[in-house]
Each structure stands twice: as structure tokens, then as C-alpha cells.
């Protein structure tokens, strides 16, 4: 009875989501007949522009450039943030420096301010974009990894010390697997935030990428291109979350539940 109830509730939830999506598309379609095209292009016009987007290698290159910026910044910020968190955890002399100085400073520093500094220091280009995204993401990595290190099972770690005195092996076999959920959460959060920051960084300091395309489209009043870029990013982030992150999260949940 409970399984049937859960299945019915799941169907109703999916139906409600589909109805909402259809309602938004219908409202968008009907509004396009009332609002000027340069303010709100219709879904058919945006769909046609999306087809042109993927048939133009220059546009595809801009999309790939954005993907490269995001992946590089997520990887770099994760490495730096994890190193800071590990340093503060195992070298107590650096704890105040990391959690009392570096992390609060980076967490409170404006992303727009990083853009201005990046343009001044490195000029306009991919390095500036990656730098800005990385600086914004580092606090997320530090905070998540810190929570993971705090929540480590100390009894399990003490027991592992009776099997080996080699710290490297203990970290690889015991500590690192215990941190997998927090590593995954850090990457998942960073990936979503990176797109929000990356578009702004590319808009002002990129010279290439999807944000740069938005800047050109704004100057040309090319509303279909603006909506196309937005929809591509939403579809990519949503698809990546559902097809990559969600299965990994389920697998980790089953493993750690067991």
C-alpha cells in the first residue's frame, strides 16, 4: 500500500512539473504576440536561432570556451580550497589563518570586484575569467571540505592506525573515501555557481565565451540570441545535474547507507 501511494505521489509530482513547464511555454508563446520582438522573441524564433547556433562553428567555439572556463575554474578552486582545508585541519597553526582570515575575506569579496581587478591585472581574456570564477568558488570548497573533515569518524581513524602507521595509506584508504560525499557536494555546488559567475566574468572580461556572446547580442539588440544562450546554459546545467550528478549522488547514498 505504501509503495502504491509513493508511486501515485511520484506520478502526480511529475505531472505537476510538466503542467508548469507547458504553462510557462504557452505564456511565453502568447506574450510574444503582445510584446515587441526585440524585448521578447517567441519560442519558435528562439528555436530557429538555436538551430543556427549549433550549425555555426564560431558559435559552438564560444560555447566550448565557456565550458572550458567553467571546468578549469571548478578544478582549480577545488584543489586550492581542499588544500587550505586540509592544512587548517592537520596543521593547527594555520587554522586561524585559513578559517579566520582567508576564507572570510574571499567569501565576502564581491565577484564584480574580482572582475575589475582581473581586467587591471591580467587584461581581457580567458585567464581573467578563470581567475574570477576560481576566487569566488574557493570559499565553497574550503567550507564544504572543512565540514567533511570535522565529521570524520575518529574511532574508524584510530582503528585504521592499528593496521598501518603510514599516513599516506591511511588517508587514501580511510579518510579520502569518507570525504567522497563532501567532495561530490563541493563539485556539484561549485559547478552551478560557476555558471552564474562565469557569464558575468565573460560579459565584462572574457573576450570569448557565452557571456561575451551576450554582450555582443545586447549591443546588436539580438534578443533571439540572448534567449538562445540562456536556454542552452539552463539545458546544459540541468542535463548535467540530472544525468551526471544525480546518479553519482544516488550511488554515494547507497554506499554510505550500507
pLDDT at 17: 81
DSSP H helices, the chain, are 2-31, 43-55, 57-90, 95-97, 103-108, 111-122, 126-150, 154-161, 167-170, 176-205, 210-219, 223-240, 246-257
**Domains, the chain, ordered by start:** 46-257 (1.10.3720.10)
**pTM of the predicted protein model:** 0.83
pLDDT at 93: 86
Q: Model confidence at 39, in pLDDT bands (50, 70, 90)?
A: confident
Percent of the chain whose predicted confidence (pLDDT) is above 70: 86
Instruction: Please answer whether residues 81 and 148 qualify as being in contact, where contact means their C-beta atoms are separated by less than 8 angstroms.
Output: no
Q: What secondary structure letter does DSSP report for 208?
A: S
In terms of phi and psi (left: phi > 0; alpha: psi -120 to 50; beta: otherwise), the region of 125 is: left
Q: Model confidence at 4, in pLDDT bands (50, 70, 90)?
A: low
pLDDT at 204: 86
Q: Dump the DSSP string for 143-167.
A: HHHHHHHHTS-HHHHHHHHTT---H
Q: Model confidence at 137, in pLDDT bands (50, 70, 90)?
A: very high
Percent of the chain whose predicted confidence (pLDDT) is above 90: 17
Please state the rounded mean pLDDT for residues 235-249. Answer: 83
**More confident of the two residues 207 and 146:** 146
Taking the C-alpha atoms of residue 62 and residue 125, their distance in angstroms, rounded to an integer, is 13
pLDDT at 138: 94
pLDDT at 83: 92
Q: Using one digit for the tens of pLDDT, what is the confidence trace for 60-116?
A: 898 999 999 999 999 999 999 999 998 988 888 888 888 888 888 988 888 889 999
Q: Using one digit for the tens of pLDDT, what is the confidence trace for 179-202?
A: 888 888 888 889 889 988 998 898
Q: Using one digit for the tens of pLDDT, what is the confidence trace for 144-178?
A: 988 888 887 666 666 666 666 666 666 767 777 77
Amino acid at each position: 500500500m505504501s509503495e502504491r501511494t509513493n508511486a501515485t505521489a511520484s506520478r502526480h509530482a511529475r505531472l505537476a512539473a510538466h503542467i508548469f513547464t507547458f504553462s510557462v511555454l504557452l505564456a511565453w508563446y502568447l506574450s510574444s504576440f503582445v510584446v515587441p520582438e526585440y524585448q521578447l522573441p517567441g519560442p519558435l524564433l528562439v528555436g530557429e536561432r538555436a538551430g543556427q547556433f549549433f550549425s555555426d562553428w564560431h558559435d559552438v567555439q564560444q560555447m566550448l570556451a565557456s565550458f572550458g572556463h567553467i571546468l578549469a575554474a571548478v578544478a582549480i578552486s577545488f584543489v586550492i580550497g581542499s588544500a587550505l582545508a586540509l592544512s587548517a585541519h592537520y596543521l593547527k597553526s594555520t587554522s586561524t589563518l585559513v578559517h579566520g582570515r582567508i576564507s572570510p575575506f574571499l567569501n565576502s569579496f564581491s565577484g564584480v570586484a574580482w572582475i575589475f581587478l582581473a581586467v587591471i591585472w591580467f587584461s581581457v581574456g580567458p585567464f581573467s575569467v578563470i581567475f574570477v570564477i576560481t576566487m569566488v568558488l574557493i570559499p565553497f570548497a574550503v567550507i564544504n571540505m572543512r565540514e567533511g573533515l570535522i565529521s570524520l569518524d575518529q574511532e574508524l581513524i584510530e582503528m585504521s592506525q592499528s593496521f598501518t602507521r603510514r599516513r599516506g595509506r591511511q588517508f587514501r584508504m580511510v579518510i579520502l573515501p569518507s570525504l567522497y560525499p563532501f567532495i561530490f557536494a563541493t563539485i556539484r555546488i561549485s559547478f552551478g555557481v560557476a555558471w552564474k559567475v562565469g557569464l558575468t566574468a565573460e560579459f565584462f572580461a572574457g573576450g570569448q565565451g557565452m557571456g561575451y556572446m551576450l554582450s555582443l547580442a545586447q549591443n546588436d539588440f539580438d534578443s533571439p540570441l540572448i534567449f538562445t544562450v540562456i536556454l542552452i546554459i539552463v539545458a546544459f546545467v540541468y542535463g548535467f545535474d540530472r544525468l551526471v550528478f544525480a546518479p553519482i549522488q544516488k550511488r554515494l547514498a547507497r554506499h554510505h547507507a550500507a
